[in-house]
Amino acid sequence: MQFIGIYCSASDEQKAIFESEAIKLGEWMGLNGKTLVNGGSNQGLMEVFSKAVKRTGGHCIGVIPENFSNRGWHSNHTDEKVIVKDLSERKEVIKKRSDVLIAFPGGIGTMDEFFDAWSSFSLGFHDKKIILVNIDGFYSALIEQLTVFRKEKFIHDFLPSPLVIVDSAEDCIRQLEKLDA
């Protein structure tokens, strides 16, 4: 497990705990020679991850739509910038280039990426684990809704689940270490 895809916020206005947890995970990745695959933005948690991974010796791949890059929204902390035409292609490239996918706190784009990864798994397009990082209860309401989906048979118990839910960067790291063993 070398390539870690991370979906997360591109907003610069988030709780400090989200940033500190991103730094913990990013530093672990760098120190362990992992490669970050993310949306390539110079904003929000995307930039926090890129800086932490690079600062500690890791490799960063930023997958960014051309019109975002043209506006200067690309991180200068990536080793490889992959220019794509749109957000749909970005999702596909991140899934393809990653060995595991992680959803950190984020907004609509992060949810789109998370559900795309999960539905793609359910339909047999990939077999990667997806880790949902529920820092400070950020995803608790979503987790409750997922329970309703399962209860109402919209998530089928007979299908394998790619989803692992953790509450912190430390728990996420433990899961990554298990996958790496």
Name 132's Cβ contacts closer than 8 Å, sequence gap at least 6. Answer: 103, 114, 139, 142, 143, 163, 164, 165, 166
Measured CA distances, 86 to 10, 44, 89, 139, 158 (Å): 16, 20, 6, 26, 34
How far is the C-alpha of 69 from the C-alpha of 117, rounded, in Å?
Answer: 24
Shortest CA distance to 161 belongs to which of 128, 138, 136? 128
Domains of the chain: 3-180 (3.40.50.450)
Question: How many other CB atoms are found less than 10 A from the CB of residue 97?
Answer: 15
Summarised one tens digit per residue, pLDDT across range 55-91 is 999 999 999 999 999 999 999 999 999 999 999 999 9
| Residue 161's pLDDT band (cuts 50, 70, 90) | confident
Evaluate whether 84 touches 66 at the Cβ level (below 8 Å): yes
pLDDT at 104: 97
pTM: 0.95
Residues 92-150: tens digit of each pLDDT:
999 999 999 999 999 999 999 999 999 999 999 999 999 999 999 999 999 999 999 98
Phi/psi at 76 (nearest 5 deg)? -90, 10
Average confidence (pLDDT) over 7-12: 94
Maximal C-alpha separation, the chain:
46
Report the relative pairing of strands 80-84 and 100-103 from DSSP bridges: unpaired
Whether 58 and 33 have beta carbons less than 8 Å apart is answered as yes
The residues that bridge with 4 in the sheet, in sequence order, are: 36, 100
Specify the higher pLDDT residue, 139 or 156: 139
Do residues 30 and 57 make contact, with C-beta atoms less than 8 angstroms apart?
A: yes
